Structure formats: C-alpha cells, structure tokens
Amino acid sequence: MWLPQLHAHMKGSYCILIYLPRDVHVKVGALGKILFHKGVYAYVGSAQGGLEARIGRHLRVSKKKRWHIDHLLSKAEVFSVVTVPSDDKSVECQISRALLSCEGASAPVPRFGSSDCGCASHLIHFGDVDPEMVAEDVARQVTMLQCIYPEKTRD
C-alpha cells in the first residue's frame, strides 16, 4: 500500500481507497445495518488537526469506532491514500463531488461521513472494478482540483 509522506500537524483532506472483497452487512452507528457491495470504495475526510494522525488512526486495526468509516474499515482493505494539504475544510466536499462525477461512481449510503455538511455522501462506490484504475482516476480528479484550489497550508 502506498502512503503519502506527511509532516506532523499538516492540515488537509484525504481520500482513503478501499477494496471490499465480498458483499457484507455492517452496522454503522446511527445509520443502522447497511449492505455494502463488493468492490472499490473511496472515503473522503478532512483532518484539520493533522493528516498524519487522522490517517494513522483510520489504518489502525484496534480502535474505538467513532466515525462511520471505522465500521466499514473493519471489513475492508485499504490499498491507497491520497492527501490534499489545505486549511480549507470545504476541499473535502469538493473532492467528494468530483469523485461522484466519475463514470460508474455512486453514493451507496446517503450521509455516510457527511453528517456535518450538505453533501450526499463522502463514501463513493466504483463497483467491482480494477483498484489501480480507480486509484488513477482519483489521483487525476484530485490533481485537477489542486490546480483550481491551490494549497493554502504552509509549513
């Protein structure tokens, strides 16, 4: 799995790319029991307290299930992480919208990871497709956004 080099306390948004090897029912907090279909997912979040700590927490196996994604990660495999350093929390929503516009993308669980904003979902399902192809599409979408919304965080 490729992980970006991060500076301690760097703020920003991130996209965790996940592969779910089979259909599975998962209880996700207040959202209830949800059927997640096999395939590739992207979860978009933000870490205004530091990308390194937030992503590290998501990747740990043993943790208290605090966020929606914690429940799904217990059943799935993370294969890549993309980061966007920025002081602007809205970049998280911009990334989600950009990924939802990709061919074959859908928001399988309304309000997943987006209970604090107006987005349809911050979990995007791409279907049972090649994970590397999705990783390339995600990187392309994020790169295009970075050209439009340049980094604001400075070390």
Q: What is the pLDDT of residue 43?
A: 96
CB-CB contact of 109 with 83 (8 Å)? no
* SS3 of residue 47 by DSSP: strand
Question: According to DSSP H, which parts of the chain are helical?
Answer: 51-59, 68-73, 91-100, 131-148
Backbone region of residue 104 per phi and psi (left: phi > 0; alpha: psi in -120 to 50; beta: other values): left
Separation of alpha carbons 135 and 47, rounded Å: 21
pTM of the model: 0.86
Residue spans of the chain under pLDDT 50: 1-3, 150-155
Q: What is the pLDDT of residue 109?
A: 92
The reported pLDDT for the residue numbered 119 is: 87
Any bridge partners for residue 33, and if so which? Answer: 27
Largest pairwise CA distance in the chain = 42
Query: Residue 59 has what pLDDT?
Result: 87
pLDDT at 67: 81
Identify the pLDDT of residue 146: 66
Of the candidates 50, 48, 51, 41, the residue with the CA atom closest to the CA atom of residue 14: 51
What's residue 155's pLDDT?
42
